[in-house]
A and B are shown apart, each in its own frame.
Chain A
């Protein structure tokens, strides 16, 4: 009996499983497992003119970034002439820390944009490594590689999913219905691939760049709690900020290297 016949037999024998599958095929993750309220359930607030900007820095010696060995997949290896480092901690000599998700924790809900946030898999790496999106905003996950990936979303408040993207150019659309910071994505085919998403109920978030800088714009006047979250160092101490219309406030965050 060859493998095809065997698999066909297995398929018949396990038809009962058809109803036991996960909700992975659903494009919308409509039900979460508790957690904060959905953006859709609250009236959307008008955008304002205030802004909060600042820097995220790392004190102490940043860990040496591990070099990624792409040997597990010749397609991945062929796309990297030099070396690539793990992106978990990216800090320059001055301690400026990149890839930190900064958001207004108690900001008013805003309408979720219909424009999708695009997460690409290119060169067997996720891009961007850390990104933000709103609850109920479309997320489009694209495989730009000529090899297969699986997109394993390890959400805990929203429903996780694990979808296959075996062919180049394949796109998968998803949505998260609830706020959740941070949601981890990983590829189990390529163990080095992982990235994080901050899902929030408003548009008041930013991700620090390689200079550690971030800026949150269009805030309505008010008193807010701003938080920075790093995939490895966790959540910072929250900072209270009062802003008036048109005002630009500065807030800085510091993480201690482990």
Chain B
């Protein structure tokens, strides 16, 4: 991705990556609905569903098999994307990225099957949830680096006074991912409502008893949420304040900065609605959007600050 000016922009490749990213986003939503509706084991076998390729789509099967169908589509798209990238793309690292995405989506499918066959062990379910976000990040990255703006980016006169923002963006992205994984652990270990009230915990600032589930829920909904809220807001604000004219930085920053507040509101709503399906599922995909926005911000800032003629 270094010799950007020698790279040719392929509109077909970029659109393919965008479509795959869109479908992956739908896949995340479908996966969220499976867990939220308690349909994870509605289809007890895998890779077939009730011994068929296409079972009767009723009740929980609609969500579970629907998830498998969307996953199948995304896997096929990813295979197509990898082949197209191999054919059209000059940059070796982008080719590698596309094939890595294919490997990840296959591994993800296997994890999905294993978690069904083993009756949702927490470790496997969390790995499935965590890898889903990594896969989404890979596809978002592919979409970004095949875009016209990325390839045609000319050196900028960005001041190095704010080059530390690159590190802020990177660490914020990392923290957002960790928060998502902790949330997945809480969700799949049944700790989602271990602390039933908010903002207090069992009527106190700190829970009276620290069981593993309480600790997990506290880590996600109090400690982690506060840290992510502060860090994303701070990073987003600094990018928006210093680079309002740089659309490639401004919009991801603004998106992450706005959505992190909505995300916290959804988190509170989950507690008050006793894990209602809609807020719980939307909470998951908002997390993915924030992660993707931070990732784009990190990559874009890295590119601009690196290619910029610093003054």
Taken residue by residue from 50 to 86, chain B's Cβ proximity to chain A (1 for < 8 Å, 0 otherwise) reads as: 1111111011110010000100100110000000000
Question: Which residues of B lie under 8 Å from residue A20 when comparing CB positions?
Answer: 114, 117-118
A249 to B118, CA, bound (A): 46
Question: Which residues of A lie under 8 Å from residue B113 when comparing CB positions?
Answer: 14, 17
Taken residue by residue from 154 to 165, chain A's Cβ proximity to chain B (1 for < 8 Å, 0 otherwise) reads as: 000000101110
A191 to B36, CA, bound (A): 12
Assess the B43–A17 pair: CB atoms within 8 A: no
The verdict on A256 contacting chain B, using a C-beta distance below 8 Å, is no
Within 8 A of A (CB), among B108-129: 109-110, 113-114, 117-119
A119 to B43, CA, bound (A): 20
Q: In this complex, which of B39, B51, B61, B110 has the most chain A Cβ atoms within 10 angstroms of its Cβ? A: B61
Assess the B43–A164 pair: CB atoms within 8 A: yes
Question: Which residues of A lie under 8 Å from residue B8 when comparing CB positions?
Answer: none
The verdict on A43 contacting chain B, using a C-beta distance below 8 Å, is no
Assess the B106–A13 pair: CB atoms within 8 A: yes
The verdict on B197 contacting chain A, using a C-beta distance below 8 Å, is no
Assess the A188–B40 pair: CB atoms within 8 A: yes
Q: In this complex, which of B59, B113, B119 has the most chain A Cβ atoms within 10 angstroms of its Cβ? A: B59
A128 to B113, CA, bound (A): 32
B42's partner among A7, A75, A147, A189 (CB-CB below 8 A) is A189
Q: Nearest CB to that of A189 among chain B residues?
A: B59
Known: A188-B38, A191-B38. A148 touches B44 (CB 8 A): no
Q: Nearest CB to that of A192 among chain B residues?
A: B59
B119's partner among A6, A7, A72, A162 (CB-CB below 8 A) is A162
A4's partner among B39, B41, B53, B64 (CB-CB below 8 A) is B53
Name the distance in Å between A26's Cβ and chain B's nearest Cβ: 14
A93 to B181, CA, bound (A): 49
A7 to B43, CA, bound (A): 15
Question: Which residues of A lie under 8 Å from residue B200 when comparing CB positions?
Answer: none
B59's partner among A72, A152, A166 (CB-CB below 8 A) is A72
Known: A150-B43, A160-B119, A189-B42. A6 touches B76 (CB 8 A): yes
Name the distance in Å between B133's Cβ and chain A's nearest Cβ: 22
A197 to B75, CA, bound (A): 42
Question: Which residues of A lie under 8 Å from residue B53 when comparing CB positions?
Answer: 3-4, 7
A189 to B56, CA, bound (A): 10
Assess the A147–B51 pair: CB atoms within 8 A: no
A10 to B112, CA, bound (A): 12
Total count of chain A residues near the partner, CB < 8 A: 31
Q: Nearest CB to that of B62 among chain A residues?
A: A72
Name the distance in Å between B149's Cβ and chain A's nearest Cβ: 32
Question: Which residues of B lie under 8 Å from residue A188 when comparing CB positions?
Answer: 38-42, 59-60, 64
Name the distance in Å between A71's Cβ and chain B's nearest Cβ: 10
Assess the B41–A164 pair: CB atoms within 8 A: no
Assess the A191–B60 pair: CB atoms within 8 A: yes
Assess the A10–B42 pair: CB atoms within 8 A: no
Question: Which residues of A lie under 8 Å from residue B196 when comparing CB positions?
Answer: none
The verdict on B37 contacting chain A, using a C-beta distance below 8 Å, is yes
The verdict on A171 contacting chain B, using a C-beta distance below 8 Å, is no
The verdict on B93 contacting chain A, using a C-beta distance below 8 Å, is no
Assess the B56–A17 pair: CB atoms within 8 A: no
Q: Nearest CB to that of B64 among chain A residues?
A: A188
Known: A20-B114, A189-B42. A148 touches B55 (CB 8 A): yes
The verdict on A22 contacting chain B, using a C-beta distance below 8 Å, is yes
Assess the B44–A162 pair: CB atoms within 8 A: yes
The verdict on B88 contacting chain A, using a C-beta distance below 8 Å, is no
A14 to B114, CA, bound (A): 10
A75 to B57, CA, bound (A): 12
A249 to B228, CA, bound (A): 63
Footprint of B on A, CB under 8 Å? 1, 3-4, 6-7, 10-11, 13-14, 17, 20-22, 24, 72-75, 147-148, 150, 152, 160, 162-164, 166, 188-191
**A-B complex: 3 closest residue pairs judged by Cβ atoms:** A188-B42, A166-B50, A72-B59
| Sample of 17 A–B contacts (CB below 8 Å) | A3-B53, A3-B69, A3-B72, A6-B75, A7-B47, A7-B48, A7-B53, A14-B47, A21-B117, A24-B44, A75-B58, A147-B58, A162-B119, A164-B50, A188-B42, A191-B37, A191-B38
Known contacts A7-B48, A7-B72, A73-B58; 17 additional CB pairs below 8 A are A10-B72, A13-B106, A14-B113, A17-B110, A17-B117, A22-B119, A72-B59, A75-B58, A147-B58, A150-B41, A152-B44, A162-B41, A188-B38, A188-B39, A191-B37, A191-B38, A191-B59
